[in-house]
Amino acid sequence: MSKRNPYIRKLPMDWWMKQLFYTKYMIREGSSVFVTLYSLILAWGVFRLSQGEVAFNGWLDALQSPFAILLHIIMLILALYHTITWFSLAPKAADLWVKGKKLDEKVIIAAHYCTFVVVTVFCLLIITL
């Protein structure tokens, strides 16, 4: 058995801030925490709705505090960033072929954005009607 120590490369804490590619990657990965937090807030609202009108109205009142509004603005920005970066990665995740020819990346990205707009408009119509 060898008595040599393996080489362990020192990695500074800010390694991801030195290249733009890694910075964008880390922001995207970090944004998933806020997307999860927002989904938990919405799930809590559904839970409060199941407890009755008074409980649900208390949840709505809690969401109207300045801290909650600021948190929602931050979560919205990060969710949009997460969505945009995911759509730009979609052609790499979906290798689509039509009639023996690879589908252009721009078509895949455009389809994602069109679907996003249609679903958003549909949800807004449901909410407002």
What is the reported pLDDT for 93? 85
What is the reported pLDDT for 5? 84
What is the reported pLDDT for 41? 94
What is the reported pLDDT for 8? 86
* Amino acid letter, residue 103: L
Token digits of residue 69: 């509004």
How far apart are alpha carbons 121 and 127 in whole angstroms? 10
Strand partners, 17: none
Token digits of residue 16: 């991801």
How far apart are alpha carbons 116 and 38 in whole angstroms? 18
Q: Tell me the mean pLDDT per 10 residues along the chain, length 129.
A: 80 90 91 91 95 96 94 91 90 85 90 94 93
